[in-house]
Amino acid sequence: MGDKFTLFNQEEINKLASIKSKDELDRILRENLKQLSKIYFELCKKDNSRQYIPPSGKVLDEKELFNMIEASLDMWLTTGRYNDQFERKLADFVGVKYALTTNSGSSANLLAVSALTSYKLGEKRLKEGDEVITVAAGFPTTVAPIIQNNLIPVFVDVELGTYNIDPDQLEESITEKTKAIFVAHTLGNPFDLSKVIEIAKKYDLWVIEDNCDALGSKYKEKYTGSFGHISTISFYPAHHITMGEGGAVLTNNDELYKIIMSFRDWGRDCWCPPGKDDTCGRRFNWKLGNLPKGYDHKYIYSHLGYNLKITDWQAAIGLAQLEKLPDFIEKRKENFKLLYEGLKEFEDYLILPRATPNSDPSWFGFPITVKENAPFNKLELVKYLENNGIGTRQLFAGNMLRHPAFIETDIKLRIKNSDIINSKELSEEHYKLLPNTDKVMNGTFWIGVWPEIDKEDIEKIGNIFTEFFKNV
Ligand SMILES: Cc1ncc(COP(=O)(O)O)c(C=O)c1O
């Protein structure tokens, strides 16, 4: 067959070219591409000789490829029919009223915080100098939008084992200026939602759940991402489902939904989807700001926003992934359990992960902390694992407050209930206020549980740990 193989011979091409019905051609094209996608992926499956067990990865098959091809044939390009379906299905899955896609989890976080600064929220809006409680042991773009919106991050310590905010330190960190709590469900492990929500209610605080690493995790039988006023998800390839780059912002609140959409879509007041006009039926009949009556609503801006939308290709991939999510979640849980069983014998020197009470995590990874009494350090263990084909990752920033992004700049911040300081003043005395955060930086890393990891991989991981411990 070689180079010469083509799907259609010249006679068939002539026949196809003579078809005058666009629908008929469309059907033939889509059907053939669908079959080819399947054959292609069958072939990919056979090439499965990896020597390295990555900590995370994407799981794709012909369904994603076919959806992408379909989206290409649509030639719609921007958010379209796939996005509409994806947003609806995602919201239904998590159990919230609205989901708005965006081009990354970081953008979702930016939108979540920006939305809360809107004047449309009146007295409840976040204003410059207001404080937002968060943690330093995590991903930087949970913290960055707080600072980017001229708010003051207040850092509370985390627990070892769950790696989540220590809820017992929350209340003492609240001042008159505290207006919100923005923390992540670390590596898929839900934070103590009962306590966080209870304190938020008591002090009338906004709650944003960074659910980027926890799609499918449950707390008291409900999905994480459905508890806070706003929650966010990431669809970067390492995550539970992917669309290459992508994210989403979720809310049950009608007003917040409109505000988030406005910030996402250039800051405009109009909510027409791309390619549609006059959804409100009053396109030339609004009187807003100091604009003349009837100024085109499409071009009226209620916020200084961004354009953080996705394309329909991304949504098309996401839609195929969403179908697989329940299986992915189960596989992650199963892998977690097997790893836990396999590594239990090393607990003298390793802290193994602990699910938050009342939770059922859809784990993002398997976090491990090297205890301080161990005769080896994290770096030694991580290097051994990497050299023997087991991929590892740090718990993201470890301690965000030790990074150049803080040390080399002027950021106003508070640590727990201490005074506001400038990040340039950060010293060892300050870090001592967050001892577990430093322990995470020094001792914690994680290995993978993603769905392509199988029993054989887990056996290999167990053996490599055993080898390592034989030599310590
Ligand atoms: C907790 C958390 N929040 C936010 C993000 C940012 O997501 P993205 O990479 O899609 O911007 C990540 C990334 O992995 C994350 O782990």
Indicate if the pLDDT at residue 2 is higher than 80. Answer: no
68 within some domain = no
Residues 221 and 289 in one domain: yes
Residue listed under structure tokens 């719609």: 76
As a residue count, the chain comes to 472
Report the distance separating Cα 307 and Cα 316, nearest Å.
20
Does 303 participate in catalysis according to the annotation? no
More confident residue, 9 or 287: 287
Residue the block writes with tokens 């263990």: 381
pLDDT of residue 187: 98
Q: Is 189 in the pocket of ligand 1 (CB under 6 A)?
A: no
Assess whether pLDDT exceeds 70 at residue 3: no
Please choose from 110, 236, 314 the residue to mutate so as to test ligand 1's pocket, defined by most ligand atoms within 8 A of CB: 236
Atom of ligand 1 nearest to the CA of 247: 10
Evaluate if residue 199 carries a pLDDT over 60. Answer: yes
Tokens of 135: 């943690």
Query: What does the alpha-carbon distance between residue 322 and residue 267 come to, in Å, rounded to a whole number?
Result: 29
User: Parallel, antiparallel, or unpaired for β 178-184 and 247-251?
Assistant: unpaired
Beta bridge partners of 178: 131
Residues 150 and 276 grouped into a single domain: yes
Residue 28: inside a domain:
no
Query: Is the confidence at residue 50, as pLDDT, over 80?
Result: no
Atom of ligand 1 nearest to the CA of 184: 1
Q: What CATH code is carried by the domain that includes residue 361?
A: 3.90.1150.10
- Which residue, 260, 209, 290, 243, is CA-closest to 89? 243
E strand or H helix at 287: none
Same domain, 257 and 288: yes
Instruction: State the pTM of this model.
Output: 0.96
The backbone torsions φ and ψ at residue 390, rounded to the nearest 5 degrees and listed phi first, read -115, 115
From 314, 333, 350, the end of a domain falls on 314
Residue 158 has pLDDT above 90, yes or no: yes
471 Cβ contact list (under 8 Å, min separation 6): none
If 0-12 CB within 10 Å is exposed, 13-18 middle and 19+ buried, where does residue 348 land? exposed
Q: Answer whether residue 1 shows pLDDT above 60.
A: no
Last residue of a domain, one of 314, 341, 360: 314
Q: Are residues 269 and 393 in the same domain?
A: no
* Closest C-alpha among 113, 260, 280, 276 to residue 288: 280
Residue corresponding to tokens 């930086």: 441
pLDDT classification of 48: cutoffs 50, 70, 90? low
Query: How far is the C-alpha of 382 from the C-alpha of 133, rounded, in Å?
Result: 31
CATH classification at residue 233? 3.40.640.10
Residue of 136, 138, 132, 171 lying closest to 154 (CA atoms): 132
379 inside domain? yes
Q: What is the pLDDT of residue 246?
A: 98
pLDDT band at 46 (very low <50, low <70, confident <90, very high): low
Integer Cα distance of 341 and 188 in angstroms: 19
Q: Determine if ligand 1 sits within 6 Å of the CB of residue 106.
A: yes
Residues 390, 291 share a domain: no
Amino acid at 254: D
Distance, CA of 213 to CA of 191 (rounded, Å):
12
Beta strands 365-370 and 444-448, pairing class:
antiparallel
Residue 210 near ligand 1, beta carbon < 6 Å: yes
The more confidently predicted of residues 6 and 439 is 439
Q: Does one domain contain both 292 and 259? A: yes
Residue 275: is its pLDDT beyond 80?
A: yes
User: Across the chain, what does the average pLDDT equal?
Assistant: 96
Rg of the chain, C-alpha, whole Å: 25
Strands 178-184 and 206-210: parallel
Q: Average pLDDT for residues 237-261, to the nearest whole number?
A: 98
**Is 13 contained in some domain?**
no
Q: How far apart are CA 153 and CA 163, in angstroms?
A: 19
**Which of 13-17, 122-126, 168-172 bottoms out in mean pLDDT, i.e. has the lowest?**
13-17
Structural domain includes residue 3? no
- Residue 88: the pLDDT is 98
% of residues, the chain, pLDDT over 90: 90
pLDDT at position 37 over 90: no
Helix (H, G, I), strand (E, B) or coil at 42: helix
Nearest to 61 by CA among 37, 25, 31, 27: 37
Helix (H) or strand (E) holding 16: helix 10-17
Instruction: Copy the structure tokens of residue 437.
Output: 């955060």
Q: Do 288 and 216 sit in the same domain of this protein?
A: yes
Q: What is the pLDDT of residue 47?
A: 55
* Cβ(374)–Cβ(112) below 8 Å: no
Both 258 and 309 in one domain: the answer is: yes
pLDDT band of 389, cuts 50, 70, 90:
very high
CA 401 to chain CA centroid, Å, is: 22
Do 334 and 286 lie in one domain? The reply is no
- Over residues 288-300, the mean pLDDT reads 97
Tell whether 158 and 109 lie within a shared domain. yes
Give the pLDDT mean for 216-226: 98
- Lowest mean pLDDT, pick from 11-15, 338-342, 375-379, 382-386: 11-15
Question: How far away, in angstroms, is 143 Cα from ligand 1 center?
Answer: 11
Q: CB neighbours (10 Å) of residue 446?
A: 24
Q: How far, CA to CA in Å, does 359 sit from each of 6, 52, 192, 282, 337?
A: 54, 31, 9, 47, 15
Percent of the chain residues past pLDDT 70, beyond the cut? 98
How many angstroms separate the CA atoms of 257 and 81, rounded? 19
Cα(259)–Cα(250) distance, rounded to whole angstroms?
Answer: 12
- What pLDDT is recorded for position 100? 98
Q: 282 burial class (0-12, 13-18, 19+ CB within 10 angstroms)?
A: exposed
Domain shared by 271 and 179, yes or no: yes
What gap in Å lies between CA 282 and CA 286, rounded to an integer? 7
Q: How many domains does the chain have?
A: 2
Instruction: Give distance in angstroms: CA of 106 to centre of ligand 1.
Output: 6
Burial class (CB in 10 A: 0-12, 13-18, 19+), 468: middle
No. of H helices and E strands in the chain? Answer: 14, 16
**Residue 43 maps to a domain:** no
Q: Is 168 inside any structural domain?
A: yes
Ligand 1 centre to CA of 281 (Å) is: 38
Same domain, 263 and 353: no
139 close to ligand 1 (CB < 6 Angstrom)? yes
Which of 253, 287, 314 represents a domain boundary (last residue)? 314
In a domain? residue 4: no
> DSSP label at 9?
-
Pocket test for ligand 1, best of 104, 139, 364 (most atoms within 8 A of CB): 139
Q: What domain range includes position 276?
A: 81-314
Looking at residue 234, what is its pLDDT? 98
**Residue 438 near ligand 1, beta carbon < 6 Å:** no
Signed CA dihedral, 68, 70, 72, 74: sign only: negative
Spatial CA neighbour of 363 closest among 325, 403, 335: 335
pLDDT in tens, 68-96: 999 999 999 999 999 999 999 999 999 99
Strand runs (DSSP E) across 185-298, as ranges? 206-210, 218-219, 222-223, 230-234, 247-251
